[in-house]
Amino acid sequence: MPAPIKTPMKSPLLLLAPMEGLLDATLRDVLTRTGGLDRCVSEFIRITDTLLPERAFVRVVPELLRGGLTRGGVPVRPQLLGSDPGCLAENAARLAGLSPFGVDLNFGCPARTVNRSRGGAVLLDEPELIGRIVAAVRRAVPDHLPVSAKMRLGYDDDRVAEDCALAIAEAGAQELVIHARTKAHGYRPPAYWDRIAQVRGVLPPALRVVANGEIWSVDDARRCIEVSGCDALMIGRGMVTDPGLALAIRGQGGVPWSQISPLLSAFWTQVCGRVERRHRAGRLKQWLNYLRRRYPEAQVAFDALRESNDPDAISAWLGLPHLPIPVLEAEIAAAC
């Protein structure tokens, strides 16, 4: 019996996820060179009780020095994290002065240290506060600047997922990313895409809902769209593992290792220009650890470099010259 013919999926809006400690400016720079992505969201900028200087935003989102675009021409939307509506609004207004592609708000980070300081997913138990935060930021930035948010289904459970999403919508957000797990679920599969569909059902049609979680392949993307009903996806670890995933979802094929290898060198060059010497090897091995799930050549590289923490030896293995000391702080100081 012949295999069923799969109906081509309508090309969705594709966003690159923020991932603290992994998917930062350096990695999103090289990943957006492969094509297929429409926009990125930065890792969070923590807001406490202080109005941050411009250089604090630029440090996390250096793309602000290039018109808000990665070198591949993909827009980056900075993300703020905090719990004080007034302070978040004040910082959002300052960020708006740097002409970002909108302002995103984090209600999804599951990290214990972040939650203990009343940031991220812990706020999902307080829908009213979430609404006040979004409303304050919406009022603080120009009307033309989009305000978006990212949330999980809840903290310990998903009982108030609809309440949180409605609070975000009613406060004036234009877009909502829903990571289809609670904080308690962490990153364990599965992702509950059906709950995204249920939450979408109570929201106004004008609010774009983006589905996020466990999208590792084209088939995952297809099923997520079918189950969630969303026409937009956010991909994170799947894109880190397979930099050609966005192109593949669009039906344009994947990215062979012959194109990944130069990206690895570009990544390492930037790491050596931005990261203290003792931390550089760890960053490269972290990405190789993901890549080896998809590429046998990455396994070879991982095995060869596993025991090395010497940046010069790694540069030599990659066929690169000795690379520079960190320069990002100097770039930021000169620009701000």
Residue ranges per structural domain of the chain: 13-249, 257-335
Cα separations in angstroms, 183 against 125, 137, 151, 180, 216: 11, 24, 10, 10, 20
Strand 175-179, strand 39-46: pairing? unpaired
For residue 45, what are its two tokens? 């900028």
Q: Report DSSP letters for 195-258, one per residue.
A: HHHHHHTTS-TTSEEEEES---SHHHHHHHHHHH--SEEEESHHHHH-TTHHHHHTTS----HH
Q: Give me the pLDDT at residue 200, please.
A: 98
Which tens digit of pLDDT belongs to each residue from 111-150?
888 998 889 999 999 999 999 999 999 999 999 999 999 9
- Quick check: pTM over 0.85? yes
Helix segments in the chain, DSSP class H: 25-31, 54-60, 85-96, 112-116, 127-140, 161-170, 193-200, 218-228, 237-241, 245-249, 257-274, 277-291, 296-305, 311-317, 328-335
**Listed residue (255, 272, 323) closest to 33, CA to CA:** 255
Instruction: At 120, give phi and psi (nearest 5°).
Output: 75, -140
Q: Give me the pLDDT at residue 324, please.
A: 56
Fold that domain 257-335 belongs to in CATH: Bacteriocin As-48; Chain A (1.20.225)
Tell me the percentage of the chain whose pLDDT exceeds 90.
88
Label residues 153-174 b or e (16+ Cβ within 10 Å = b).
bbbeebebbbbbbbbbbebebe
Instruction: At 10, give phi and psi (nearest 5°).
Output: -60, 135
Tell me the percentage of the chain whose pLDDT exceeds 70.
93
**CATH number for region 13-249:** 3.20.20.70
Active-site residue, 164 included: no
Cα separations in angstroms, 80 against 88, 122, 147, 227, 271: 7, 15, 11, 29, 24
For residue 167, what are its two tokens? 């609070």
User: Is the sign of the CA dihedral 9, 237, 68, 230 positive or negative?
Assistant: positive
- Is 5's pLDDT higher than 50? no
Q: Averaged over 161-182, what is the pLDDT? A: 98
* HSE (side-chain half, CA atoms, 13 Å) at 161: 29
- Is 336's pLDDT higher than 70? no
Active-site annotation holder among 40, 87, 109, 230: 109
Using DSSP's 3-state secondary structure scheme, residue 40 falls into: strand
